[in-house]
């Protein structure tokens, strides 16, 4: 049975109406050699220790409770609706530009005007980092980017919002192309939405990883999105004779940077003030403006 020692020499460090809980903490103190007694204080059971060991005992109990605390679950994932609409717009834009380029609309060579060139060869032609994302070498190239871009873009649109997702994808894709242009060998050029496709993959992986804060999930679960993204990059983005590995890599890294930025609390607060429709229209305007610039200069 608990008893009440002299309050002048002992201090209460734990109190509960559950006697078993007090016994459990007494066992912890016994294991580390700290003198203690079970008593009664203010109508509840209590664990008391000598004044000169109170601080040490409190620290031991704190460690015990941290080690035995049940794992916290991640907050429920809230997905945005209407993601398919933005994905359909993405497909429509790529198909429309593919048609215009194939028909040489306006009697201009869209491939020469819009392809990504090394930075040293494309001075003053900044539109290329965006226009190159919308051009494709053949129907197979186009269909591949429609399929993978649509799939990853749909996930991104559900995760961060349709407008925010596609604006982020255009920015990340352009950033990836800019870095690629700095690293490209002289005399080379590249086209294709694959930079934006892998930017989308990087964005989704990094955003999902960042949303799982260190205290919510075990390390394996926290890192799973990023590890899966890197694995998918290696599996789908590093093979094939015509594969531009550098473009895929710069796209993925750029997308990851943008995804991490989107996951920051301050960034999310700003983005929430912008309607999804507004962000989506801005993304579309960036593409239209880039092509208008290119066609005007090439006239």
Q: Please write the tens of the pLDDT for every residue from 7-21.
A: 458 889 999 999 999
Tell me the pLDDT tens digit for each residue of 31-88.
999 999 998 888 889 999 999 999 999 999 999 888 887 766 655 667 788 899 999 9
pLDDT of 226 above 80? no
Which pLDDT score is estimated for 90? 96
Q: Are 214 and 249 in contact (CB under 8 A)?
A: no
Cross-strand partners of 46: 15, 39
Which pLDDT score is estimated for 210? 78
Cβ atoms within 10 A of the Cβ of 268, count?
14
Which pLDDT score is estimated for 4? 52
pLDDT of 111 above 80? yes
Which pLDDT score is estimated for 167? 95
Higher pLDDT, residue 110 or 230:
110
Which pLDDT score is estimated for 203? 92
Which pLDDT score is estimated for 229? 58
| Residue environment code for 73-106, b if the CB has 16+ CB neighbours within 10 A, otherwise e | eeeeeeebeebeebbebbbebbeebbebbeeeee
Using 50, 70 and 90 to split pLDDT, how confident is the model at 230? Answer: low
Complete domains list, the chain, with CATH: 10-68 (3.30.70.1530), 83-297 (1.20.1540.10)
Which pLDDT score is estimated for 222? 52
String of DSSP letters for the chain: ------TTTEEEEEEES-HHHHHHHHHHHHHTT---EEEEETTEEEEEEEGGGHHHHHHHHHHHHHHHSPPPPPPPPP--S-HHHHHHHHHHHHHHHHHHHHTTGGG--HHHHHSB--GGG-TT-TTHHHHGGG--SSHHHHHHHHHHHHHHHHHHHHHH-HHHHHHHHHHHHHHHHHHHHHHPPTT--B--THHHHHHHHHHHHHHHHHHS-TTTS-HHHHHHHHHHHHHHHHHHHS-STT--HHHHHHHHHHHHHHHHHHHSHHHHHHHHTS-HHHHHHHHHHHHHHHHHHHHHHT-
Using 50, 70 and 90 to split pLDDT, how confident is the model at 223? Answer: low
Which pLDDT score is estimated for 276? 93
Pairing of strands 37-41, 10-16: unpaired
pLDDT of 219 above 50? no
Q: Are 230 and 280 in contact (CB under 8 A)?
A: no
pLDDT of 236 above 70? no
Average pLDDT, the chain: 85
Higher pLDDT, residue 187 or 114:
114
Which pLDDT score is estimated for 123? 83
Q: Could you tell me the two tokens for 135? A: 């051009």
Instruction: For residues 123-131, give the mean pLDDT.
Output: 93
pLDDT above 70 as % of the chain: 83
Tallying the residues shown for the chain, one arrives at: 299
Which pLDDT score is estimated for 77? 63
Which pLDDT score is estimated for 216? 45
Using 50, 70 and 90 to split pLDDT, how confident is the model at 220? Answer: very low
Which pLDDT score is estimated for 221? 47
Using 50, 70 and 90 to split pLDDT, how confident is the model at 136? Answer: very high
């Amino acid at each position: 049975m608990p008893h009440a020692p002299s309050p002048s020499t002992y201090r209460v460090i734990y109190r509960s109406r559950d006697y078993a809980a007090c016994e459990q903490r007494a066992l912890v103190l016994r294991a580390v050699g700290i003198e203690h007694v079970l008593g009664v204080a203010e109508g509840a059971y209590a664990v008391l220790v000598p004044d000169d060991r109170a601080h040490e005992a409190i620290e031991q109990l704190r460690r015990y409770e941290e080690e035995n605390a049940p794992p916290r679950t991640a907050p429920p994932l809230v997905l945005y609706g209407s993601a398919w609409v933005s994905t359909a717009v993405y497909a429509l834009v790529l198909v429309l530009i593919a048609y215009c380029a194939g028909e040489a609309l306006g009697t201009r060579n869209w491939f020469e005007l819009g392809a990504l060139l090394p930075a040293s060869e494309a001075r003053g032609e900044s539109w290329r980092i965006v226009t190159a994302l919308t051009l494709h070498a053949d129907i197979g190239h186009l269909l591949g980017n429609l399929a993978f871009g649509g799939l990853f873009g749909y996930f991104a649109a559900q995760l961060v919002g349709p407008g925010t997702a596609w604006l982020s994808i255009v920015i990340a894709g352009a950033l990836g192309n800019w870095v690629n242009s700095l690293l490209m060998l002289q005399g080379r050029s590249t086209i294709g939405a694959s930079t934006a496709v892998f930017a989308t993959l990087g964005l989704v992986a990094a955003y999902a990883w960042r949303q799982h804060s260190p205290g919510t999930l075990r390390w394996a679960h926290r890192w799973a999105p990023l590890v899966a993204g890197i694995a998918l990059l290696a599996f789908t983005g590093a093979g094939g004779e015509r594969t531009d590995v550098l473009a895929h890599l710069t796209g993925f890294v750029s997308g990851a940077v943008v995804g991490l930025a989107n996951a920051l609390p301050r960034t999310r607060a700003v983005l929430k003030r912008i309607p999804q429709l507004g962000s989506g229209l801005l993304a579309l305007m960036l593409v239209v403006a880039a092509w208008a610039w290119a066609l005007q200069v090439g006239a």
